[in-house]
Amino acid sequence: MSIGIIGRKIGMTQIFDEKGYAIPATLLKVGPCTVTQIKQTKEHAKIQIGYEYIQPNKLNKPIIGHFKVNKLPCFKHLIEYKSNNWKELSIGQIINVSQLNKNNYVNISGISIGKGFSGYQKRHHFHRGPMSHGSKNHRQPGSIGAGTTPGRVFPGKKMAGRMGNTKVSIKNISILDIDTKHNIVVIKGSVPGKKGNIIYIHQR
State the total domains in the chain: 2
- Same domain (yes/no): 47, 80: yes
Alpha-carbon distance 188 to 198, whole Å?
18
User: Backbone phi, then psi, for 94, in 5-degree steps?
Assistant: -90, 130
Say whether pLDDT at 118 is over 90.
yes
| Alpha helices, H only, the chain | 61-69, 120-124
Share of the chain above pLDDT 90, in %: 27
In terms of residue numbers, what domain contains 123?
Answer: 118-163
What does pLDDT average to over the chain?
87
- Same domain (yes/no): 59, 93: yes
Alpha-carbon distance 86 to 46, whole Å?
8
- Same domain (yes/no): 22, 106: yes
- Same domain (yes/no): 196, 147: no
- Same domain (yes/no): 130, 107: no
Contact present, 167 and 109 (Cβ < 8 Å): yes
Say whether pLDDT at 27 is over 90.
yes
- Same domain (yes/no): 32, 128: no
Region of 58 (left: φ > 0; alpha: ψ -120 to 50; beta: rest) is: alpha
Residue 66: CATH number of its domain: 2.40.30.10
- Same domain (yes/no): 112, 125: no
Q: What is the rounded average pLDDT of the residues 32-54? A: 85
- Same domain (yes/no): 101, 124: no
Q: What pLDDT score does 1 carry?
A: 61
Of 4-8, 27-31, 90-94, the range with the lowest mean pLDDT is 90-94
Q: What is the rounded average pLDDT of the residues 113-124? A: 93
